[in-house]
Chains A and B, each alone.
Chain A
């Protein structure tokens, strides 16, 4: 079947089975490989994208559902929160192997858009769905606080 899907502000016409997870449409049809496959069952968060602004696991989201929404991926996430998060990630050398970091960043940006100054507890709740096998958790936490502080100062 053919679906019109809005990704990163652009509408793409995609021929695929409606049950195909959005993840594989992004990666293999649209060649947006920044969004990663990690588990396929919404357990690890590596495939996190924004669906109408909400962090969502694309590995379990069928194309036919995604087609009615605005999708944003790591390649095009923009705005002050995204900028602050990316900057903090680089400043603290957060990534190691880096495979999970697209998902971590998508979750972190969504958190800062909802909560301007998240507590450690807020960060735990928002980020514990994102596994990092290099265990960069402590730097992720610090970088989120950095980004929040920077946004607070900017305001």
Chain B
């Protein structure tokens, strides 16, 4: 195991626990005790509290506070990660409080994610679990050592039960609070090794179906504090008028009328727009509408029209003479396909989709000299520090970020544009905090959409129907070229997140994945499951096309291609059983799809019907089997699968952003259609962990199979009509039926 016990080095002295890092005012905290008042856990450590490391504080009353290094955006991580600590610490979960980590990447950065604080990529559990479990185990050893001294017995005679150290032979025991208050600790402190971690059969919390989310109570009575809810003394509000086309700049600003709006205090010209600061949200919005701005007309994004570009991308994908950057190469796929008996070739495409998190972009900032304090619903505290420092001309260490709850993230809140707004306006009014809230219209129009993309897949089969070669060409702009240029350069112009999911675990003798970047200027970003959301659409539909060409069952073909993959076979067999795959439905079709992305295996079956007159698809039910390796919170895994499946349905059927001459055509939920309750499929989930396997990612694992399962169901229902373009709008469905 890698040296993961960093916290040890900054521990040791018993009274070196001063909790000065908490951001006491606003940083979220929740109690795992349902009646705990919201925010109570943020009380500073009292004199005598015991802080054995940067993650855990034990109060003299035995209350254990555990830092959550990842941010909560609905994925349940502020329960999951502290639960892993509590498991190894052998703490009583009802006496645990969770505290959101301050911005301090050195201490709280994700060891599995460049060491920074950025919650995304379904990387939190995968990246932090080893560190946090070991931290819990080491703290338990420290408590045991302390108790040994207090009871004057050897450590070897002690054991723990939740929140107590026991000395079975004498019947004596000590509560963790008593130990924290009175123990004299050995120097050096005991070190934990992997041997000190609990065997899985001794887990009390991991895998329990009774552990509930700690943040739920505050979310049913209005007390949960999201970024948009931050209230500070003397606070002003801000709004920013942005250019209608990305990268244009204000040339002339007529703010005469805007200034006259009562309550407006500042008009702030920015390089990318015009900021308004005032005493109320409403005043800033009225003033923003009254600004008269002429914009530059030099941005190359003015040439960006999404439907035209998508046609071009498809042509690039088909033109095999155009070489892409190799993303994965096994054998000589093209040569193998050249010698194939049957060749299957298809284009798959998707339009841009928007995040439309329920909480629109917002942030609050206070600038005082070279210091910045930020309260924001951000996925990336580390990036926030860097961007804020740049705006103010200071260093990231002088920027303190208080991360609030996030009203949805999906990758959008890993961006910094809303942070830059708040810091820019706060800088202009130095000394007073400014809260910037984007309108929903701005949130949609100025989103960083999932890439517009076209894929060309070409597969060769031999005379027996075996796959001999698989080529997959992905044509899209790059996310990393904008967000992580060094990573993009180092990879030789390959974008790992845009092509994510193209590499699969099906057994094929030759496999070639190419990336053909299309640089057209519009900023694109991370979305729910990012690349996997469309690469698996193409792959899983092509697998069904192969099954149809061979005249065999799609479930049987997948099992054949996954002969050596027991976990994959398990989820496919499970979901087929749940859905009664072989039972025909009158007027309805079943489709299957599978994904091994994010370290989890997920198979789904969708049951759909189709109105041939209108082209409308109805998804009645989706069955899902998920193997996350270790199932830390099975109930929550079910919930996350429902999130993925329902949004997977919505994005396959409805979600669509159109850009014409650089201007985004959609602006609010009346034009950007997302799935609603009456359209949500019924869902049945089976969580089928595999003991002894690694911790998989869960946040995004549920979305990728849903769309292809729907498309495959439609194909089976219609005798082979393929839908190859997200979203499956009624017009596109009718056009496909008419061919």
Is B669 on the interface with A (CB-CB < 8 A)? Answer: yes
Known interface pairs A100-B358, A134-B74; A89-B220 also in contact (CB < 8 Å): yes
The answer to whether B676 touches A139, judged by C-beta atoms less than 8 angstroms apart, is no
Which of B213, B356, B639, B682 neighbours the largest number of chain A CB atoms within 10 Å of its CB?
B639
Known interface pairs A74-B222, A98-B215, A133-B408; A43-B670 also in contact (CB < 8 Å): yes
Partner of A41, one of B218, B222, B280, B668: B668
Is A127 on the interface with B (CB-CB < 8 A)? Answer: yes
Known interface pairs A90-B34, A90-B220, A138-B642; A96-B358 also in contact (CB < 8 Å): no
The answer to whether A99 touches B683, judged by C-beta atoms less than 8 angstroms apart, is no
The answer for the CA separation of A136 and B225 in the assembled complex, in Å, is 20
The answer to whether A135 touches B358, judged by C-beta atoms less than 8 angstroms apart, is no
Is A52 on the interface with B (CB-CB < 8 A)? Answer: no
The answer to whether B222 touches A73, judged by C-beta atoms less than 8 angstroms apart, is yes
Known interface pairs A75-B221, A132-B358; A89-B282 also in contact (CB < 8 Å): no
Partner of B669, one of A33, A37, A44, A125: A44
The answer to whether B678 touches A95, judged by C-beta atoms less than 8 angstroms apart, is no
A129 to chain B, nearest CB (A): 8
- Residues of chain B contacted by A38 (CB below 8 angstroms): 358-360, 440
Residue interface bits B374-406, CB-to-A below 8 A is 1, else 0: 000000000000000000000000000000011
Is B73 on the interface with A (CB-CB < 8 A)? Answer: yes
The answer for the CA separation of A93 and B218 in the assembled complex, in Å, is 12
Is A58 on the interface with B (CB-CB < 8 A)? Answer: no
The answer to whether A39 touches B74, judged by C-beta atoms less than 8 angstroms apart, is no
Enumerate A67-113 residues with CB–CB distance to B below 8 Å: 73-75, 86, 89-90, 93-102, 105
Known interface pairs A98-B74, A139-B642; A28-B280 also in contact (CB < 8 Å): yes
- Residues of chain B contacted by A43 (CB below 8 angstroms): 668-670
- Residues of chain A contacted by B683 (CB below 8 angstroms): 138
Is B518 on the interface with A (CB-CB < 8 A)? Answer: no
The answer to whether A105 touches B635, judged by C-beta atoms less than 8 angstroms apart, is no
- Residues of chain A contacted by B262 (CB below 8 angstroms): 17
The answer for the CA separation of A138 and B676 in the assembled complex, in Å, is 11
Is B228 on the interface with A (CB-CB < 8 A)? Answer: yes
The answer to whether B639 touches A139, judged by C-beta atoms less than 8 angstroms apart, is yes
Is B675 on the interface with A (CB-CB < 8 A)? Answer: yes
Closest residue of A by beta carbon distance from B218: A98
The answer to whether A93 touches B635, judged by C-beta atoms less than 8 angstroms apart, is yes
Known interface pairs A40-B440, A138-B683; A99-B642 also in contact (CB < 8 Å): no
Partner of A36, one of B215, B221, B228: B228
B702 to chain A, nearest CB (A): 10
The answer to whether B220 touches A86, judged by C-beta atoms less than 8 angstroms apart, is yes
Which of B222, B223, B639, B670 neighbours the largest number of chain A CB atoms within 10 Å of its CB?
B222
The answer to whether A135 touches B646, judged by C-beta atoms less than 8 angstroms apart, is yes
The answer to whether A39 touches B677, judged by C-beta atoms less than 8 angstroms apart, is no
The answer to whether A36 touches B669, judged by C-beta atoms less than 8 angstroms apart, is no
Is B174 on the interface with A (CB-CB < 8 A)? Answer: no
Which of A16, A95, A100, A129 neighbours the largest number of chain B CB atoms within 10 Å of its CB?
A95
Known interface pairs A24-B281, A90-B34, A93-B216; A36-B359 also in contact (CB < 8 Å): yes
Which of A74, A101, A125, A134 neighbours the largest number of chain B CB atoms within 10 Å of its CB?
A134
Closest residue of A by beta carbon distance from B685: A138
- Residues of chain A contacted by B507 (CB below 8 angstroms): none
The answer for the CA separation of A130 and B76 in the assembled complex, in Å, is 22
The answer to whether B440 touches A96, judged by C-beta atoms less than 8 angstroms apart, is no
Is A35 on the interface with B (CB-CB < 8 A)? Answer: yes
* Chain A interface size range: 35 or more
The answer for the CA separation of A40 and B645 in the assembled complex, in Å, is 28
The answer to whether B358 touches A44, judged by C-beta atoms less than 8 angstroms apart, is yes
Is A51 on the interface with B (CB-CB < 8 A)? Answer: no
A4 to chain B, nearest CB (A): 19
Closest residue of B by beta carbon distance from A35: B222
Is B224 on the interface with A (CB-CB < 8 A)? Answer: yes
Closest residue of A by beta carbon distance from B438: A37
Closest residue of B by beta carbon distance from A127: B677
Known interface pairs A37-B360, A75-B222, A93-B635; A138-B680 also in contact (CB < 8 Å): yes
Known interface pairs A37-B228, A43-B669; A97-B680 also in contact (CB < 8 Å): no
Closest residue of A by beta carbon distance from B228: A37
- Residues of chain B contacted by A32 (CB below 8 angstroms): 222
Closest residue of A by beta carbon distance from B667: A41
Main secondary structure of the interface of B (DSSP, over half): loop
Is B439 on the interface with A (CB-CB < 8 A)? Answer: yes
Known interface pairs A36-B358, A127-B677; A99-B646 also in contact (CB < 8 Å): no
Is B231 on the interface with A (CB-CB < 8 A)? Answer: yes
The answer to whether B212 touches A93, judged by C-beta atoms less than 8 angstroms apart, is yes
The answer for the CA separation of A139 and B680 in the assembled complex, in Å, is 11
The answer for the CA separation of A96 and B219 in the assembled complex, in Å, is 9
B585 to chain A, nearest CB (A): 20
- Residues of chain B contacted by A16 (CB below 8 angstroms): 280, 282
Is B229 on the interface with A (CB-CB < 8 A)? Answer: yes
The answer to whether A39 touches B668, judged by C-beta atoms less than 8 angstroms apart, is yes
The answer to whether A99 touches B226, judged by C-beta atoms less than 8 angstroms apart, is yes
Is A21 on the interface with B (CB-CB < 8 A)? Answer: yes
The answer to whether A90 touches B360, judged by C-beta atoms less than 8 angstroms apart, is no
The answer for the CA separation of A129 and B34 in the assembled complex, in Å, is 30
The answer to whether A134 touches B408, judged by C-beta atoms less than 8 angstroms apart, is yes
Enumerate B628-656 residues with CB–CB distance to A below 8 Å: 635-636, 639, 642-643, 645-647, 650
Known interface pairs A43-B668, A131-B676, A136-B639; A28-B358 also in contact (CB < 8 Å): no
Partner of A101, one of B73, B219, B281, B282: B219
Is B433 on the interface with A (CB-CB < 8 A)? Answer: no
- Residues of chain A contacted by B270 (CB below 8 angstroms): none
Is B217 on the interface with A (CB-CB < 8 A)? Answer: yes
Is A140 on the interface with B (CB-CB < 8 A)? Answer: yes
The answer to whether B358 touches A90, judged by C-beta atoms less than 8 angstroms apart, is no
- Residues of chain A contacted by B72 (CB below 8 angstroms): 97
- Residues of chain A contacted by B439 (CB below 8 angstroms): 40
Is B674 on the interface with A (CB-CB < 8 A)? Answer: yes
Known interface pairs A37-B437, A127-B677, A138-B680; A95-B222 also in contact (CB < 8 Å): no
The answer for the CA separation of A4 and B282 in the assembled complex, in Å, is 19
- Residues of chain B contacted by A119 (CB below 8 angstroms): none
A52 to chain B, nearest CB (A): 20
Enumerate A1-40 residues with CB–CB distance to B below 8 Å: 16-17, 20-21, 24, 27-28, 31-40
A95 to chain B, nearest CB (A): 4
- Residues of chain B contacted by A136 (CB below 8 angstroms): 639, 642-643
The answer to whether A41 touches B680, judged by C-beta atoms less than 8 angstroms apart, is no
Known interface pairs A39-B669, A95-B220, A96-B75; A134-B643 also in contact (CB < 8 Å): yes
The answer for the CA separation of A143 and B229 in the assembled complex, in Å, is 27
Partner of A97, one of B73, B223, B647, B669: B73
The answer to whether A95 touches B642, judged by C-beta atoms less than 8 angstroms apart, is no
The answer for the CA separation of A143 and B408 in the assembled complex, in Å, is 22
Closest residue of A by beta carbon distance from B702: A135
Is B357 on the interface with A (CB-CB < 8 A)? Answer: yes
Known interface pairs A24-B280, A41-B668, A89-B216; A31-B678 also in contact (CB < 8 Å): no
Is A46 on the interface with B (CB-CB < 8 A)? Answer: yes
- Residues of chain A contacted by B237 (CB below 8 angstroms): 28
Known interface pairs A96-B639, A96-B643, A123-B677; A133-B682 also in contact (CB < 8 Å): no
The answer to whether A34 touches B359, judged by C-beta atoms less than 8 angstroms apart, is no
- Residues of chain A contacted by B406 (CB below 8 angstroms): 97
Known interface pairs A39-B669, A93-B635; A137-B646 also in contact (CB < 8 Å): yes
- Supplied contacts A24-B280, A36-B228, A90-B220, 4 more A-B pairs, CB within 8 Å: A16-B280, A40-B441, A89-B220, A100-B358
Chain A to chain B: the 10 pairs with minimum beta-carbon distance, closest first = A34-B222, A99-B407, A97-B74, A98-B219, A135-B646, A96-B74, A74-B222, A43-B669, A33-B229, A124-B678
Give 29 A-B contacts (CB < 8 Å), ordered by A residue: A21-B282, A28-B280, A28-B281, A31-B231, A36-B228, A36-B358, A38-B359, A39-B440, A40-B441, A40-B668, A41-B668, A41-B669, A44-B669, A75-B222, A90-B212, A90-B216, A93-B639, A96-B639, A97-B74, A98-B74, A98-B219, A98-B405, A100-B407, A133-B358, A135-B645, A135-B646, A137-B680, A138-B646, A141-B677
